[in-house]
A and B are shown apart, each in its own frame.
Chain A
Amino acid sequence: MSIENKSFRPKIVAFCCNWCSYAGADLAGSSRLSYPADVKIIRVPCSCRVNPMFILRAFEKGADGVIMCGCHPGDCHYSTGNFYARRRMTLLFSMLDYIGVENGRTRVEWVSAAEGVKFSDTMNSFVEKIYSLGENVRLGDLRCRN
């Protein structure tokens, strides 16, 4: 990965469901598959627990990218949670794009508990994308800036 602007280190929030993606991230860890430290993971029981407000909050507080990972469609531990999540995020991301938070700053990925490689690949490509987009300035609360 080429980091052009060394001084810019993005803040990236990753919401991972407990049953698939969080376990996938654990597998990436125990397999020593690296991805940039800019990614910080928040554990939620299911991708359907992710309230769009959380994502707006993250951008407001200065996040440069937010990614949400869940079980593959059809494999949700709670049967249908990821379908709700997918619909919600599609709407939210298009709205965010409309107000200037580019589509590249938001992403939904399905990562199973067995896909450590996919988790690390996903995070690497997402972080690379955020580096190419640079700092997010559109939704930030000015009071939160240093």
Chain B
Amino acid sequence: MSSNKKKQAELIEEISGVNPLKCMKCGKCSATCPSYNEMDIKPHQFVSYVINEDVESLVNSKSLWKCLSCFACVERCPRDVKPGKLIDAARQMVVRQRNNTYLSPDEIPELLDPELPQQLLVSAFRRYRR
């Protein structure tokens, strides 16, 4: 079991290309995140979850779907850790398991309005499901 946890953490590191040990816990990512208040696990905490091999909590967190991929944390991180990449890797893990997605086609029609650009749907689909 614990080896499975380890594997998951390693997978996150592999997909993201991030070394969480480089983090110095300055909190600049959380200071900069526009979705901070919506997140249950805050950006600066992502690294600890990976280091502690608790990927389970990470993939079940609300934060996965609140991250905007705006790259503010990626741009401003002083340690080249870039938590946005970690959260994206966790999201990848979830969407690669087909049964677990945040957006189902059935809910789309009621979300639409006449001005909504294609780009929005395309991006949302790419982010939320496979």
**A–B contact via C-beta, under 8 angstroms:** no
Which B residues form the contact surface with A (CB < 8 A)?
none
Which residues of A are interface residues toward B (Cβ below 8 A)?
none
